[in-house]
Structure 1
Amino acid sequence: MSIGFLRQAINALQLQSHGRTSHRVNQWFKWLSPGLSVKRWFFVSVGGFLLASLGLAIWIKLTPIFWILEFLRGLLGFLTDILPNYISGPLVLLCGILLLLWGQSRTVGSITEVLRPQGDEEELIDVLLAHRRLYRGPKIVVIGGGTGLSTLLRGLKTYSANITAIVTVADDGGSSGRLRQEFGVLPPGDIRNCLAALADEEKLLTELFQYRFRAGDGLTGHSFGNLFLTAMTDITGDLERAVAASSKVLAVRGQVLPATLSDVRLWAKLEDGRRIEGESSIPKAGGKIVQIGCIPENPPALPAAIKAIKEADYIIIGPGSLYTSLIPNLLVPEIADAIAAQNIPRIYICNIMTQPGETEGYTVGEHIQAIDKACGDRRLFDAVLVHKKTPSAQALIRYAQQNSHPVFLDRETVIKLGRRIVPSNILYEDETGFVRHDPQKLAKVLLKWYNGAQHGK
């Protein structure tokens, strides 16, 4: 019985050793993958070594080199006397290659120990391959605000690092509104959410940035992220520099830009004739919105935002609150003009549920018409992505109590508006019936549609 157990242990050790060896060989061969720019520099290094050796030999008049060569010739002659050259040659060649690979792997291992965070089991080569893939991804511009935008960014960042999020700065409620009144800064809330979503250490940063103080004179209700961005704005001079500096500190994958640096205040005209001012007051007014605008009228766009749109490969609008997150960005005329001028894939992500105080009873077509109207009846996107699966009965009951229902797809109206419909199952529903877009499913569908649109040109 002890002998059988010993045999099992030896077999297990052999399998484990074989697995480690196979994994290590696979990792070595990954360094030969195209696009890493490693092979060329390796051969340059070898050429430099050989050239330096030749220079040294010439400098010292070949005397030591001569004796080394004589020694090697004698050694190789001795080996060929014992073993034929067709055996000894490949054997020595193999030994040299193995020594070279061993030395290179140890060098890479030493570099990895310095660069890789403690406890991170991911190989350096895998990190480099992922980095190359992400930074070769399409240049994506996403326009919106609120939690919908940050949800989308969490999914997109796994496909490309060339992401620009253009975010509304019309928020005047909650912590952002208080900071806006007390310090005269632009509201940082939506920007904070996007920075956390694009950060490498997303989970920890999201918890940190979303942390709200529960005590303290003047601190109660404020989130740490809002205070952080407010302090950075005061240090750097404006919100654009504050966001850029914060992005470096947080290792953000992509960039987050405010739509404008103007102190924008939203207003809405309701069907009953009332005029409501303030982003947070509009949904609470309880009326149908017939017109939306901002003060000051026609605010100037951030130049970096216009540059990003002009250089984009792909533009995504939404998801998010129609009148208080999406349209405020498009009330900046230069942004709407830049989007309209682009002949690239452009898509709008329609919300899954209607929003009380903003889009009660709205269909997909009415969402599109509202965006077109706010932009001077122009078509800023070619397709609309809609969710095609009905939420659970639990979710429908929960939302019906808030006078919210699934957005109905009026297919004929959407087609008449000249938009292509992209139906997909992109819903995530938690155990309480709360509904939102699934970040990974949404990003996968968007990239699939983008690739299809590119090939269809």
Structure 2
Amino acid sequence: MSIGFFKHALNVVQQQSRRRTPHRVSQWFKWLSPGLSVKRWLLISVSGVILACLGLAIWVRLTPIYRIIQLFKIFLEFITDIVPYYVSGPIVLLCGLVLLLWGQTRTVGSVTEAFRPQGEEQLVDALMAHRRLYRGPKIVVVGGGTGLSTLLRGLKAYSANITAIVTVADDGGSSGRLRREIGVLPPGDIRNCLSGLADEEKLLTELFQYRFSAGDGLSGHSFGNLFLTAMSEITGDLERAVAASSKVLAIRGQVLPATLSDVQLWAELTDGRRIEGESNITEAGGKIAKIGCTPAAPPALPTAIKAIKEADCIVMGPGSLYTSVIPNLLVPEISDAIAASTSPRIYVCNIMTQPGETDGYSVADHIEAIDKACGRRLFNSVLVHKKSPSSRALFRYAKEKSHPVFIDREAISKLGRRIVPANVIQEDEVGYVRHNPYQLAKVLLRWYSRTPHKMSRFKKIYSKK
């Protein structure tokens, strides 16, 4: 039987009922798409029905089934006498297949209504998306702050095999208060990443970012920080708390703290001052000469090292250079694992300089700061934004003594880095400049697909995006 007969039969069924639209037919054919693992089970189901009927017939020694078969045989002979077998056979076969497909789709429709009562997405579409995402490349992203969560928001549309390695050096705001009062690791950056990877991102972000404005002890705390703190107390540590929260929130990928040690950042400034604490470094207002942490060599989370070793590509940044990106690399095992990786590695440079951290820095200065902190080269490419923000944004940032990061191509080339220029800027109504999460993810996946690596099967998929 050719596929043409099958399509024709579906068209006939469609014409008989006005309620069955071309959309419904297209949904039927989606179940025949490769990779869904549906057709094989459908064939097995049909084979099971045939074998069950055959077994029953043998068991009762063809009585009274034998008489039913005889009547059925007489009926078929009568049909073939009227309509030739080469016409009646395909028609009966088509009718059987149509009924079987119709029954299966109605069954799936009932299951869909039970599990997706709002009907916003067909089950077959969800299944296809699930298969595509979980066949995506294994991406490890290293950083912290809002920059990392922004990137994750875009990457989750291309792959569910994402691991975010997040700094736990934050000591300001709600996270800092919880760290001092309860003794837990700061959950703020992890909270942002969980929100970015969640399916129900908008609602979850609003919930996790909600800050209590009243209440003795609650004022200033975000719900997400309190949630993760409570989970840490229940499960025993932050790693288990994040894993349990990820299941509850149904996130795509995983979020891991870089270390479970109580890390505190310190910085030596060019004027000789030594600043203790992540939140104090930016406020000090000097130029950073050296960055470090206490304890000096905190142990890495084994799960994070395993993720780096298995990664198809590694992305660092965007985010505050000295207080979000570099703190993860001060964990020796993490920097060692990244340096030993043969997968493509890229650093996403910030669009604007950050007062108190990177005043007057160019792209090459950002690269040199990472190399100096780690004592080696960890990445071979750098993604930069090639167009300047609007004049309104430039004027707004100039008031804060912040300027676009200059792309000094010659200096970058001398450092042995490949430049990946792209237009990935997103500017809001008041002039704040951020990376566009979806454009940034698209550029990164296109860069990955064009980089020679062992996972070449993804090249065709992502080069078309």
Q: Calculate the TM-score normalised by the size of structure 2.
A: 0.93
The match for 1:230 is 229
The match for 1:65 is 65
Task: Name the CA distance, whole Å, in 2 between partners of 1:203 and 1:120.
Answer: 19
| CA 430–19 in structure 1, closer or farther in 2 if over 3 Å, else same | farther
Task: Name the CA distance, whole Å, in 1 between partners of 2:162 and 2:119.
Answer: 25
Deviates more, 1:33-42 or 1:90-99: 90-99
1:172 maps to 2:171: yes
The match for 1:358 is 357
Task: Name the CA distance, whole Å, in 1 between partners of 2:335 and 2:65.
Answer: 72
Alignment of 1:158-197 (within 5 A): 158-197=157-196
Secondary structure at the aligned position of 2:304 is classed as: helix
Secondary structure at the aligned position of 1:453 is classed as: coil
Task: Name the CA distance, whole Å, in 2 between partners of 1:80 and 1:237.
Answer: 74
Secondary structure at the aligned position of 1:106 is classed as: helix
Q: Calculate the TM-score normalised by the size of structure 1.
A: 0.94
Per-residue CA deviation, residues 278-321 of structure 1 (Å, 9 max, x unaligned), is 00000110100000000010100011100100111110000000
Task: Name the CA distance, whole Å, in 2 between partners of 1:91 and 1:199.
Answer: 49
Alignment of 1:394-433 (within 5 A): 394-433=392-431
| CA 51–313 in structure 1, closer or farther in 2 if over 3 Å, else same | same
Secondary structure at the aligned position of 1:290 is classed as: strand
Per-residue CA deviation, residues 343-366 of structure 1 (Å, 9 max, x unaligned), is 111000000000000000000000
The match for 1:77 is 77
Per-residue CA deviation, residues 23-67 of structure 1 (Å, 9 max, x unaligned), is 112111111111111111111111222122211111110122221
| CA 455–218 in structure 1, closer or farther in 2 if over 3 Å, else same | closer
Q: Which amino acid aligns with 2:377?
A: R
Q: Which amino acid aligns with 2:45?
A: S
In structure 2, the gaps of 5 or more residues are: 1-13, 457-465
> Superposition RMSD on alpha carbons, in Å?
1.5
The match for 1:46 is 46
Task: Name the CA distance, whole Å, in 2 between partners of 1:437 and 1:109.
Answer: 40
Q: How much identity, in percent, do the aligned residues show?
A: 76
Task: Name the CA distance, whole Å, in 1 between partners of 2:87 and 2:312.
Answer: 57
Q: Which amino acid aligns with 2:339?
A: A
Residues 113, 119 of structure 2: 8 Å contact kept: no
Secondary structure at the aligned position of 1:301 is classed as: coil
Task: Name the CA distance, whole Å, in 2 between partners of 1:120 and 1:173.
Answer: 43
Secondary structure at the aligned position of 2:368 is classed as: helix
Shift of 1:71: 1.0
Residues 145, 324 of structure 2: 8 Å contact kept: yes
Alignment of 1:108-257 (within 5 A): 108-116=108-116, 118-257=117-256
The equivalent position to 1:383 in structure 2, one of 353, 375, 381, is 381
1:331 maps to 2:344: no
Shift of 1:18: 6.5
Shift of 1:17: 6.7
| CA 21–120 in structure 1, closer or farther in 2 if over 3 Å, else same | closer
Task: Name the CA distance, whole Å, in 1 between partners of 2:45 and 2:67.
Answer: 26
Q: Which amino acid aligns with 1:429?
A: E
Per-residue CA deviation, residues 416-457 of structure 1 (Å, 9 max, x unaligned), is 100000000000001111100000000000000000003699
Per-residue CA deviation, residues 66-89 of structure 1 (Å, 9 max, x unaligned), is 212111111112222332323322
Q: Which amino acid aligns with 2:36?
A: L
Secondary structure at the aligned position of 1:384 is classed as: strand
Q: Which amino acid aligns with 1:61?
A: R
Shift of 1:15: 10
The match for 2:432 is 434
| CA 16–63 in structure 1, closer or farther in 2 if over 3 Å, else same | closer
| CA 367–21 in structure 1, closer or farther in 2 if over 3 Å, else same | same
Task: Name the CA distance, whole Å, in 2 between partners of 1:221 and 1:453.
Answer: 45
| CA 151–47 in structure 1, closer or farther in 2 if over 3 Å, else same | same
Task: Name the CA distance, whole Å, in 2 between partners of 1:363 and 1:16.
Answer: 68
Task: Name the CA distance, whole Å, in 2 between partners of 1:392 and 1:192.
Answer: 31
Shift of 1:213: 0.2
1:317 maps to 2:316: yes
The match for 2:6 is none
Shift of 1:276: 0.3
The match for 2:96 is 96
Secondary structure at the aligned position of 1:215 is classed as: coil
Task: Name the CA distance, whole Å, in 1 between partners of 2:303 and 2:213.
Answer: 37
The match for 1:453 is 451
Shift of 1:20: 4.1
Shift of 1:97: 1.5
Secondary structure at the aligned position of 1:37 is classed as: coil
Secondary structure at the aligned position of 1:151 is classed as: helix
The match for 2:372 is 373
Alignment of 1:228-307 (within 5 A): 228-307=227-306
Shift of 1:21: 3.0
Task: Name the CA distance, whole Å, in 2 between partners of 1:18 and 1:374.
Answer: 68
Q: Which amino acid aligns with 2:66?
A: F
Q: Which amino acid aligns with 1:119?
A: Q
Q: Which amino acid aligns with 2:217?
A: G
Residues 345, 381 of structure 2: 8 Å contact kept: yes
Q: Which amino acid aligns with 2:282?
A: P
Shift of 1:91: 2.1
Task: Name the CA distance, whole Å, in 1 between partners of 2:54 and 2:119.
Answer: 42
Per-residue CA deviation, residues 240-261 of structure 1 (Å, 9 max, x unaligned), is 0000000011011100000000
The match for 1:9 is none
Task: Name the CA distance, whole Å, in 1 between partners of 2:130 and 2:416.
Answer: 38
| CA 15–72 in structure 1, closer or farther in 2 if over 3 Å, else same | closer
1:26 maps to 2:23: no
